[in-house]
Chain A
Amino acid sequence: MKTAKLRIIAEVLRSLASRAYTLKYPRVASPAPQGFRGKLEYDIEKCTGCAACVQNCPAAALKSISNGDRRTIEVWYGKCIYCGRCEEVCPERAITLTTAYSLVTGRKEEIKSSVQLEINRCLRCGKPVATARQIDKVRLQVKDLVLPEDYDAYLSSLCFDCRKTVQAGLLLAGRI
């Protein structure tokens, strides 16, 4: 009986001798360790608006809204589960999960964040094609694969249907 009680008293004394485990947060900062899956942030310089993140979010916290000239990719932190799938699938590495965890708000609808990208329109018919960044990226990749004299800046800025029509016309006219 005594040994058991002495053991627990020894445990208590051991605890008293060591420093307190708790911190007086928020008066004292309590940063999360590196690698903590916290609030996600977009690097607007890198994002091309491909919406791979939107497709892969398990909680549907990411939304992509396109209206003619602009695409908005929006994250609602209230729905986010901080899993990191978006970070994993982004081809541009434009998303990082920071170590910020304090997302206190009075109104859940307010904790949203978004990036906006410009959408290019087809030079021939005016239909929206894709975001400017996506088109630039494709141009860059294609440019290395074709001969400089075959690369046509005009064709690469058309929508799919217009490009087919224009290329068919060029073919029939013997130009290509």
Chain B
Amino acid sequence: MSVEATLPIGPYHPALKEPEFFKLFLDGEKVVDVAIRLGYTHRGIEYLAERKTYNEIPFLVERICGICSNVHPMCFCQAVEEAWGLQVPDRARYIRTIIGELERIHSHLLWAGVAAHIIGYDTLFMHFWKHREPVCELFEVLTGNRQNYAMNCIGGVRRDIDPTKHKALILQTLSQIRPSLLRLEKAVTEDPVVRARIENVGVLSKDQARKLCVVGPVARASGLAIDVRKDEPYAAYKEVGVDVKVLTEGDVLSRMLVRLLEALESIEIVKRGLDAIPPGPIRLEPKEIVPGDGIGKVEAPRGEDIHYVRSNGTDIPERVKIRAPSYMNVPSIAPQIIGSSLADASLIIAAVDPCFCCTERIALVNVKTNRESSVDFESLAQSWRRKSKHS
């Protein structure tokens, strides 16, 4: 592949989804080093949260991420509820579980589609996103919006799941997407071309995973059996139970399988939740603002999300610290990508499911000639397709 010196079009560009910057140092086609540059979507959310009242913050943190927009308000509310000593009503805990699992399904399907797109398999991308649509429409009926559900509040949830109208709709949607998911999973795992290119690519060993403290499907695909839903059950997970999927190979195929299996497990969790949901109130009004510390932990689709809130007795928090799961997972790209070929680079980056998915623009540095160029993902995808054809 010839490297031409062109003017790099930086991380900000109308064509990019989310900006991030990877600088790959190449020796021929092999990646020898990577520099990851962050901060393009740094918006000062913690700064803003320390200047807003507790009731306003769930709506602020909801907008940290568009895909995991239920996770952050739920985590924040859990941290505050811990600090103030609030017991959330049972029905609210079940509703939080159901919404959280539905979000996991839609997030994993979104990722699967994006991964398929990156490896050039656009048909699969379209099908994954087609079967994701019913989940988004379900959210629109349940919560009032396809994204930014505004369901969580301190003390419970804001909207109820109507047992007559909504329950039947949820079950119908799930029974519609489950067979499609199974078919698509087979379309991936039984396709030797796809398998050959994602198997043994981007391997992260268990030891590396532990040292880098990765979380979520990336950790579970490398043999670390960690899942907040099992280790520290929140919401209603103690009652409904979770079957945690763990694989040991640590490559892109394992991560894809873990996510697809988790999506199927989420369908079962939602069904169990709907069966067991008790009647009762869905929120309680906090009576007192208690000073103290609270830690909220939630298993987002990408891994463990942790919020730390310090309350000082006033209606504005003293400190809100938010650590999203991708923050721990993105540094793990470095050991995975070093030693791999350029064509696999964008797939490895996408496989950790970074919440800034931008393998659109990558800068390449040829270490031998020290010339820099930039390449767009279309041509990388083309090079991937060419590689698959000749295999």
Contacts and interface: CB of A to CB of B under 8 A. Distances in A.
Contacts of B187: 4, 7-8, 11
Contacts of B130: 15, 21
Contact of B140 (A10, A32, A59, A82): A32
B183 interface: yes
A83 interface: yes
Interface in B162-192: 180, 183-184, 186-187, 190-192
Interface stretch (B53-61, B210-218, B225-233, B287-295): B53-61
A56 B123 CA distance: 46
Contacts of B32: none
A30 to B, nearest CB: 11
B144 A8 contact: no
A37 B150 CA distance: 10
B33 interface: no
Given A7-B190, A85-B59, A35 B127 contact: no
Contacts, number: 67
Contact of A4 (B142, B180, B190): B190
B82 interface: no
A88 interface: yes
Contacts of B142: 35
B9 interface: no
B59 A59 contact: yes
Contacts of B55: 56, 58, 85
A126 B362 CA distance: 69
Interface residues of B, number: 31
A170 B70 CA distance: 60
Contacts of A10: 183
Contacts of B159: 35
B144 A35 contact: yes
Nearest to A36: B144
B265 interface: no
Contacts of B158: 84, 88
Contacts of B137: 33
Contacts of A97: 144
Given A15-B130, A37-B145, A84 B123 contact: no
Contact of A83 (B52, B59, B140): B59
B38 interface: no
B16 interface: no
B334 interface: no
A5 interface: yes
25 contacts: A1-B192, A4-B187, A4-B190, A4-B191, A4-B192, A4-B194, A5-B191, A7-B187, A8-B123, A10-B183, A11-B180, A11-B184, A12-B123, A15-B127, A32-B140, A33-B137, A34-B141, A35-B159, A36-B145, A37-B145, A56-B55, A82-B145, A84-B150, A85-B55, A97-B144
Nearest first, the 10 closest Cβ-Cβ pairs linking A and B are A4-B191, A37-B144, A58-B56, A58-B59, A4-B190, A33-B141, A7-B187, A83-B150, A83-B59, A8-B187
